[in-house]
Amino acid sequence: MEADIDRILIPRQRIAGRVRELAREIARTYEADAADGLTLVTILSGSIIFLADLIRNLPLRMKIGLITVSSYAGATTETRGAEVLQDLNVDVSGRHVLLVDDILDTGGTLRLVRARLAEYGPKSIRTCVLLRKPAKAPPDVPAEFVGFDVEDVFVVGYGLDYNDHYRNFPDIGVLREELYAS
């Protein structure tokens, strides 16, 4: 696995520190809203490790919801149209929703999920992403909480995959270019 990584972009210690900071920002934002109930909705599968670390730093009463979206059909690093593969598994009507995703790239995934969630009548929707590629992120897809802005390279690790591999790599790294066919 290590041999397939060209360079480490964000080492695990930096990720851990930033996740703790993000949790503090989120806690401050939702403190006053606690009575209405908070649901963290995670987009599978890329966000699982981020979610696990984030919620253990978040001392708020919360529920967890899951939604599965596919954006990469097969072995490619180009974003295709996003598609909901498995719909949200909890009721969020009247609740505050914090959407948690691994990375905001072209925004297609979050645009789709936000629209879907809005149909369920939540009290509010905010978005938290670990990574954002500002070169591409469109203005109509806001993210209130952002871990790191990164350059426009294909990254893997800490939940992020290539063809479903490398999710267990503990740092965020850049995959060697010759490994993906584009």
Residue 160 interaction partner, one of ligand 5GP, Mg ion, none, beta carbon < 5-8 Å per kind: ligand 5GP
Query: 130 and 110 in contact (C-beta within 8 Å)?
Result: no
Task: Determine if 105 is a binding residue for ligand 5GP (CB under 6 A).
Answer: yes
Residue 182 CA to its chain's centroid (Å) = 24
Among this protein's residues, is 105 annotated catalytic?
yes
* Site for ligand 5GP contains 173 (CB under 6 A): no
Question: Residue 71 interacts with ligand 5GP (CB under 6 A)?
Answer: yes
Q: Show the 3-state SS of 56-86.
A: CCCCCCEEEEEEEEECCCCCCCCCCCCEEEE
108 near ligand 5GP, judged by CB under 6 A: yes
Site for ligand 5GP in 120-139 (CB under 6 A): none
Query: Binding of ligand 5GP at residue 180 (CB under 6 A)?
Result: no
- How do strand 145-149 and strand 124-132 relate by DSSP bridges? parallel
Q: Is 79 in the site for ligand 5GP (CB under 6 A)?
A: yes
Mode of pairing for the β-strands spanning 155-156 and 172-175: antiparallel
To ligand 5GP, the closest distance from the beta carbon of 70 in angstroms equals: 9
Nearest CA to 141 out of 88, 101, 168 is that of: 101
Give the one residue of 9, 46, 143, 150 binding Mg ion; rule: CB under 5 A.
46
Task: Verify cis geometry, omega within 30 degrees of 0, for the bond prior to 45.
Answer: yes
Query: Rounded to the nearest whole angstrom, what is the least distance from the CB of residue 105 to ligand 5GP in the complex?
Result: 3
Rounded CA-CA distance 108/79 in Å is 8
Q: Which residue in the list 105, 152, 161, 164 is annotated as catalytic?
A: 105
Q: Give the footprint of Mg ion on this chain (CB under 5 A).
A: 46
Catalytic residues: 105
Q: Give the footprint of ligand 5GP on this chain (CB under 6 A).
A: 46, 71, 79, 82, 101-109, 154-156, 160-162
